[in-house]
Amino acid sequence: MNIYQDIILDHYHHPHNQGGSVLSGRSVEVSNPLCGDKIKMTISFEKNKVKEIKFQGEGCVISTASSSLLTDYVKNKSKQELKKLDSKFIIKMLGIDLGMNRIKCAVLPLEALHKLLV
């Protein structure tokens, strides 16, 4: 097992920022009908930067780890910075090769984030 696989499994078993919603934030729900992954993400901003972000849902190892890693990354970032994130960023963040079917799982949290930034 390589270091990236260890990190992914750790974020799957012990996800960061998972739990109840942010009290004064915006929420969005996204899903992947192909595999059944579902994510609800809630975010709050202070001075145009992410103050707090949480996610809940049911998902595979990849979508849960991606949610955990992404929510760690976005804290204290501006909306403008976050709008630039794309699927290449997520794949690089995960550090593993993903098949076409798994890419949708990996970018599902990014889809939720982008919907929260409008």
pLDDT tens digit at each of 118 positions of the chain: 577 689 999 999 999 999 977 667 899 999 998 889 999 999 999 999 999 999 999 999 999 999 999 999 999 999 999 999 999 999 999 999 898 888 999 999 999 999 999 8
- Whether the CB-CB separation of 67 and 12 falls below 8 Å is answered with no
Q: What is the number of alpha carbons within 13 Å of residue 8 lying toward its C-beta?
A: 20
For the domain covering 3-116, report its CATH number.
3.90.1010.10
The reply to whether the predicted model has a pTM over 0.75 is: yes
Q: At 20, give phi and psi (nearest 5°).
A: -55, 165
Q: Tell me what pLDDT residue 1 has.
A: 55
Compute the radius of gyration of the chain from its Cα atoms. 13
pLDDT at 83: 96
Residue 39 CB: number of other CB atoms within 10 A?
Answer: 23
